[in-house]
Structure formats: structure tokens, C-alpha cells
Amino acid sequence: MAKTILIVDDSSSLRSLVRMALAREGYTVVEATDGKDALAKLAELPKVNLIVSDVNMPNMDGIAFLTQVKQHPRHKYVPVIMLTTENQNAKIQAGRAAGAKAWIVKPFAPPLLLEAVSKLVLA
């Protein structure tokens, strides 16, 4: 059975790029436009194996979203990769404190993302 990955980003072009890279590797991909949309999608999905989230988004940013995800017993241990333009140490530390397992700065090389995904999905 394919592993399910939730992509959270307000950029449709970035979601498409990530979706295509992950789908080629056999993952099932669900897309959300921001943190609020992602929380709604998580409530509907039976299982998510990994989340890839941006930080800067309208309605609910990635750090607030991650904080809420980690408070939910069903999603507490789902690994999260932050895929963002943010490279400030304070943001990275806030993300790690909220529970992010990896931090990838945009622009990024899809093989780097796929390597992180494969490691965390198996973890």
C-alpha cells in the first residue's frame, strides 16, 4: 500500500512540483493550501505517513500548523519536513521546537527532498 504524504503550501506551482516528484516515487499525495486547510484534510484522511509544509502561508502558518498537529494524538508522531524560503536560525529553531524533523530551504533540488522523505517515511 502506498504511503500518504500531505503537502501544505500556498503556492500551487510548488505543490505541483512536489506532488509530481513524490508521485513518481509511488507516494499518494494530498494537497492543502495552508495550515487550516491541512488540518481539515488531516481530519478526513485515515492515515498520513509524512507532512511537507511551508512556513509562510496565509490563514495559519507552518509553525502554528505543526504545533497543532503535534498536539493531536493521532498525528503526534507523523514526521514533518519544513520546505520553505526561511533560513533564519530563529525560525529553524522554532520549527524544530514545534516538532519538525527536517528543514529544506527553497529553491531546492527534488532529489534532496526525496532523500529526506524516504528516510522519514521509513523511520
Per CATH, the number for 4-122 is 3.40.50.2300
Q: Cα(4)–Cα(67) distance, rounded to whole angstroms?
A: 20
Q: Cα(111)–Cα(33) distance, rounded to whole angstroms?
A: 23
Q: Cα(43)–Cα(80) distance, rounded to whole angstroms?
A: 17
pTM, 2 dp: 0.95
Q: What is the mean pLDDT of residues 103-121?
A: 94
Residue 22 has pLDDT above 70, yes or no: yes
Q: What is the mean pLDDT of residues 30-48?
A: 96
pLDDT of residue 123: 54
Domain ranges of the chain: 4-122
Per-residue pLDDT of 87-106, as tens digits, reads 999 999 999 999 999 999 99
The three-class DSSP label of residue 77 is: coil
Q: What is the mean pLDDT of residues 46-50?
A: 95
Q: Cα(54)–Cα(84) distance, rounded to whole angstroms?
A: 5
Closest among 84, 80, 82, 81 to 106, alpha carbons compared: 84
Residue 122 has pLDDT above 90, yes or no: no
Q: Cα(23)–Cα(64) distance, rounded to whole angstroms?
A: 27
